[in-house]
């Protein structure tokens, strides 16, 4: 369902276009979700008006997709993607048509769309037009391509992953001919930009019915084309709890050799690498004070969860108890700091001061020293004296 305000603004776009002699309808995901009963404020509009016509009729228009016949109309800061009826030429890259020409009829435009449930259009009164039995397929909870399935996937290989994404989010079955074509055309997945693959995988894994979609992914052999992720998908099928994409990728890297093609942010890559290393250290050995201090509570709990999913011992209670008992959680919590060494001694080399502070941290964490100023001062000053003597000996 969409909010009343958004629907009213969308109606204004339709009415403006129609008042100037053009056809215009709501189309795609919003209409589909309206039928299913899902909230969706992302409104797309299909029209006989050309992009220049739309730009002329509305005050605020973004021309981002103009070359493909799409512009974005902004009403009260809400975006409405408005796309001209299109006819498409040949596809030679399995992703986008070689050329696009504007069409003259709604029926012609709808033939080029992917699945029957996504070709529904609706006017401002809420009447739905269905040229390809999309309402029937929604009722039967079926994902079916418009026209010949192999052709649809050859035109745009991303539709293979989109079918799985809709399966994951809606729980629909994939119609037999559509599924067979996905299996036949599975190798086309490797022609897709890895960023688009990751976007679709993210939505598949997050979907409410991700187990169903992943079963299709494996049964149809599509997982074989996903750069070493197959074993990871097999693992998360065994897991009853919700698995987030970052957790999936950690598991995938642990259980198999994943190709280095995926584009993670620096933060994501650091999490994955750290989690893999920590898994190796803790899968059969216990978490200790130093591990929990260095890796912090959230990372330790994340890795423990993955360890449990992979069949290892659950140490959550141990980790939480260790974290609660830690005398410090950060170097800033030390009662005696590096600055104190600078003030109280002749040692000025920061790298050597850092070594002494690391020793203090370790001894406090392992409860070999109390986190008290005098105790730490005494230890640190003795170590400084030893360090200065070693420096003098080396100079000689």
Would you list the DSSP string of 242-311?
A: ---HHHHHHHHHHHS---TT----HHHHHHHHHHHHHHHHHSSS---HHHHHHHHHHHHHHHHHHHHHTT
> Are residue 342 and residue 384 in the same domain, yes or no?
yes
Q: Is it the case that residue 59 has pLDDT exceeding 70? A: yes
CA-based nearest residue to 189, from 166, 151, 216, 162: 162
pLDDT (average), residues 311-338: 96
- Helix or strand run (H / E) with residue 16: helix 4-19
> Are residue 160 and residue 272 in the same domain, yes or no?
no
Tokens in use for 207?
């979907």
Looking at residue 347, its pLDDT comes to 87
> Are residue 89 and residue 36 in the same domain, yes or no?
yes
> Are residue 59 and residue 125 in the same domain, yes or no?
yes
Q: What is the CATH number of the domain that holds 23?
A: 3.30.460.10
Q: Is it the case that residue 103 has pLDDT exceeding 90? A: no
Looking at residue 267, its pLDDT comes to 96
Q: Is it the case that residue 186 has pLDDT exceeding 60? A: yes
Q: Are 24 and 13 in contact (CB under 8 A)?
A: yes
Domain boundary residue, one of 237, 252, 275: 237
Residue 245 within a domain = no
Secondary-structure breakdown of the chain: helix, strand, coil percentages, each rounded to the nearest 5: 55, 10, 30
Residue 33 within a domain = yes
**Furthest C-alpha separation in the chain:** 95
Which SS3 state, helix, strand or coil, does residue 384 take? helix
Q: Are 292 and 326 in contact (CB under 8 A)?
A: yes
Looking at residue 96, its pLDDT comes to 56
Top-confidence range, 34-38, 273-277, 387-391, 392-396: 273-277
Q: Are 180 and 149 in contact (CB under 8 A)?
A: yes
pLDDT in tens, 64-76: 888 889 999 999 9
Rounded to the nearest 10°, the torsion over CA 114, 186, 220, 231 is -120
**Helices in 283-395 by DSSP H: which ranges?**
289-309, 316-325, 338-344, 350-365, 373-395
Q: What is the CATH number of the domain that holds 181?
A: 1.10.110.30
Q: Is it the case that residue 216 has pLDDT exceeding 50? A: yes
Cβ atoms within 10 Å of 246's Cβ, excluding its own: 17
Q: Residue 274: give the domain boundaries.
A: 266-325
Which of 89-98, 159-168, 197-206 bottoms out in mean pLDDT, i.e. has the lowest? 89-98
CA-based nearest residue to 377, from 347, 328, 340, 333: 340
Distances (CA, A) of 158 to 152, 155, 272: 10, 9, 26
> Are residue 79 and residue 7 in the same domain, yes or no?
yes
Looking at residue 66, its pLDDT comes to 87
Residue 59 within a domain = yes
Residue 102 within a domain = yes
Residue 246 within a domain = no
Question: What does the mean pLDDT of the chain come to?
Answer: 93
Residue 300 within a domain = yes
pLDDT (average), residues 121-150: 95
> Are residue 145 and residue 194 in the same domain, yes or no?
yes
Q: Is it the case that residue 384 has pLDDT exceeding 50? A: yes
Domain boundary residue, one of 218, 237, 256: 237
Q: Which has more confidence, 40 or 278?
A: 278
> Are residue 130 and residue 167 in the same domain, yes or no?
no
Which of 108-112, 198-202, 353-357 bottoms out in mean pLDDT, i.e. has the lowest? 108-112
Please tell me the distance from the alpha carbon of residue 50 to that of residue 98, in angstroms, as a whole number. 19
pLDDT (average), residues 16-32: 95
Looking at residue 2, its pLDDT comes to 63
> Are residue 170 and residue 294 in the same domain, yes or no?
no
> Are residue 200 and residue 292 in the same domain, yes or no?
no
Residue 247 within a domain = no
Helix axis angle, 158-170 to 176-184, nearest 10°: 140
Q: Is it the case that residue 93 has pLDDT exceeding 60? A: no
Is 365 exposed, middle or buried (CB count within 10 Å of its CB: 0-12, 13-18, 19+)?
Answer: buried
Looking at residue 230, its pLDDT comes to 98
Q: Strand pairing partners for 122?
A: 26, 128
Looking at residue 389, its pLDDT comes to 85
Please tell me the distance from the alpha carbon of residue 24 to that of residue 125, in angstroms, as a whole number. 12
> Are residue 111 and residue 97 in the same domain, yes or no?
yes
Q: Is 263 left (phi over 0), alpha (psi -120 to 50) or beta?
A: beta
Confidence of residue 48 (pLDDT cuts 50, 70, 90): very high
> Are residue 181 and residue 126 in the same domain, yes or no?
no
CA-based nearest residue to 109, from 20, 7, 25, 36: 25
pLDDT in tens, 226-253: 999 999 999 999 999 999 999 999 999 9
Please tell me the distance from the alpha carbon of residue 315 to that of residue 83, in angstroms, as a whole number. 54
Looking at residue 95, its pLDDT comes to 46
pLDDT (average), residues 135-146: 97
Q: Is it the case that residue 217 has pLDDT exceeding 90? A: yes
Please tell me the distance from the alpha carbon of residue 137 to that of residue 127, in angstroms, as a whole number. 18
Residue 244 within a domain = no
Domain boundary residue, one of 94, 109, 137: 137
Question: For residue 347, what are the contacts with CB-CB under 8 A and spacing of at least 6?
Answer: 341, 353, 384, 387, 388
Looking at residue 322, its pLDDT comes to 97
Looking at residue 40, its pLDDT comes to 85
In total, how many domains does the chain have?
4
Question: For residue 166, what are the contacts with CB-CB under 8 A and spacing of at least 6?
Answer: 115, 117, 143, 172
Q: Is it the case that residue 104 has pLDDT exceeding 60? A: yes
Provide φ and ψ at 166, rounded to 5°: -65, -35
> Are residue 196 and residue 175 in the same domain, yes or no?
yes
């Amino acid at each position: 369902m969409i909010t009343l305000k958004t629907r009213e603004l969308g109606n204004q776009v339709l009415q403006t276009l129609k008042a100037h002699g053009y056809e215009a309808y709501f189309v795609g995901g919003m209409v589909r979700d309206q039928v299913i009963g899902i909230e969706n404020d992302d409104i797309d509009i299909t029209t006989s008006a050309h992009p220049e016509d739309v730009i002329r009729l509305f005050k605020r228009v973004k021309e981002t997709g103009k070359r493909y016949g799409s512009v974005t109309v902004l009403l009260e800061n809400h975006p409405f993607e408005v796309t001209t009826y299109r006819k498409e030429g040949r596809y030679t890259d399995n992703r986008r048509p070689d050329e696009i020409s504007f069409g003259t009829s709604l029926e012609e435009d709808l033939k080029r769309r992917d699945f029957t449930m996504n070709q529904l259009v609706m006017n401002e009164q809420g009447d739905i037009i269905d040229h390809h039995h999309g309402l029937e397929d929604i009722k039967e909870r079926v994902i079916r391509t418009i026209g010949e399935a192999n052709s649809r996937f050859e035109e745009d290989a991303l539709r293979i992953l989109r079918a799985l994404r809709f399966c994951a989010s809606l729980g629909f079955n994939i119609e037999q001919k559509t599924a067979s074509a996905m299996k036949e055309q599975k190798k086309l997945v490797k022609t897709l930009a890895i960023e688009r693959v990751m976007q679709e995988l993210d939505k598949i894994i997050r979907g409410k019915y991700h187990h169903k979609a992943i079963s299709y992914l494996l049964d149809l052999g599509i997982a074989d084309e996903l750069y070493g992720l197959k074993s990871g998908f097999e693992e998360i099928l065994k897991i009853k709890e919700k698995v987030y994409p970052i957790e999936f990728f950690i598991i995938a890297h642990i259980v198999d050799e994943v190709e280095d093609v995926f584009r993670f942010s620096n933060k994501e890559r650091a999490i994955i690498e750290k989690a893999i290393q920590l898994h190796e250290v803790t899968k059969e050995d216990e978490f200790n004070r130093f591990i929990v201090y260095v890796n912090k509570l959230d990372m330790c709990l994340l890795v423990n969860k993955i360890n449990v999913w992979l069949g290892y011992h659950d140490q959550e209670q141990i980790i939480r108890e260790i974290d609660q008992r830690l005398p410090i959680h950060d170097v800033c919590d030390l009662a005696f700091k590096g600055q104190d060494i600078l003030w109280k001694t002749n040692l000025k080399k920061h790298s050597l001061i850092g070594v002494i502070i690391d020793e203090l941290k370790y001894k406090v964490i392992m409860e070999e020293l109390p986190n008290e100023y005098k105790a730490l001062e005494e230890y640190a000053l003795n170590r400084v004296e030893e360090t200065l003597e070693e420096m003098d000996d080396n100079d000689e």
